[in-house]
A and B are shown apart, each in its own frame.
Chain A
Amino acid sequence: MADTQIFSGAFAEPVLAAQSVFRTVMDCMARPGTIGTIAATARPPQPLGVAAGAVALTLCDHDTPVWLTPQLARSKLPGWLSFHTGAPITGEKHEARFAFVEKEAVLPGFALFSPGTQEYPDRSATLVVEVDSFEDGRPLKLSGPGIRDEAVIAPQGLPDTFVALAEANRAMFPRGVDLILVAGDRVLCLPRTTVIKNREA
């Protein structure tokens, strides 16, 4: 009756851990392409990764509807999120403030999520997407605010359409979604302001 997976696995020191994760995510968001390490330990139900779990505990709350991929929605994650963060789970992508996509899941189209409005661009979704690794993938060239000249990342596990998706997202500025990529305990942010291009080999 007591569901161990739902009730356990949150931060041991909720305030300090959330502050530390917030700081890491904020720094990475301010400097797109920088890889940060999540220092706090979260043990979310499988198949969500540890960094994604820590981001969820830090950023989600009662006011942020969360969308989950079909596989995550079938896992213990909805109960875990609800108990530890109070976040409501929604099946409607456009209602979500956060979306979680586990490793190897199909990345949903960005356009289905809320890009905010022209008056309130902050009412947009943030997508937390887990990839296989931040190394040895197809190199991507980043430029834009927070990046001196340009940065190069090579995440593994993003679909081929990723650059096109990101370009369409960028075109809506100031509206658009923001991305947090996670791999293991590491995190990398791609806000809507970042221009993402394939780097010629």
Chain B
Amino acid sequence: MIVAEGLAKHYGKVTALDGVDLRVPAGTVLGLLGPNGAGKTTAVRSLPPLLRPDTGRATVAGHDVLRDPAAVRKVIGLSGQYAAVDEHLTGRENLDMVGRLFHLGGKASQARAAELLERFDLVDAADRVTKTYSGGMRRRLDLAASLVARPQVIFLDEPTTGLDPRSRLGMWDVIRELVREGATLLLTTQYLEEADALADNIAIIDSGKLIAQGTANELKAQVGGERVELVVADRSEVPKAVAALESLATADPVVDEDTHMVTVQVSGGTRALADVVRELDTAGVVAQDLAFRRPTLDEVFLSLTGHSTEEGS
């Protein structure tokens, strides 16, 4: 549904995009994951297209974005990083305006606006100017505005940045529903758990380059086996625990002194967990908390880029 090849964009000496290939099959969600300034927004903006890449080509729903942008605009919905709603118009007026600009006609625009207000839980606020809306409400209205013409392809640029946790979960529900209805989504985020929760495929971007691509499972498999996390009662127990597990660890254990937590990378699935318990028992270490888990995307990102998502590039 979305195919991009070799997208590159330079601003003076700054390279925003450095040859990015993207592929989003119909009905799937691609999460474009990366820190601030990695090139996510530039990549998304070159597809509707709001900016012209220096090199590279792309098609959306079969339409070439550079040769036939008008055809692309008819089948897409875009929700940018800032809730792009007119703050002096009401929620209803905002949606109605977008419908009319899609040439749906007056009646259909009004009906569609009412439908979307209902769906996005904005009925009570529908006739208030959006200046009075909370951040979460504005984002929902902005997303609603991008859905007015029932687009086949939806671009969401950091849809939950700046939202409180509850609004974020609400937004996730809405996005999941879109996917269930068959939409194709390109979603950017700097939150790993968001990509994990919403995307079928994840593309990790850093400094304008794609550095890894695959499902969350594939990416996690790239950084080795499972992790065992254990918390001991006292700081003095930490070295004992580390020593006990040394023989099982497939990489250097990670120690968090403040929480007395030791994270050990192991292989062999749950059998390794049994070994861990046995070794701890032999060494006389009692764990307060013991967890067995697969690597997080945080760990994936760290191992691929050498820095975490929060630090930026």
Decide if A and B are genuine partners.
no
> Chain B interface (Cβ within 8 Å of chain A)?
none
> Chain A interface (Cβ within 8 Å of chain B)?
none
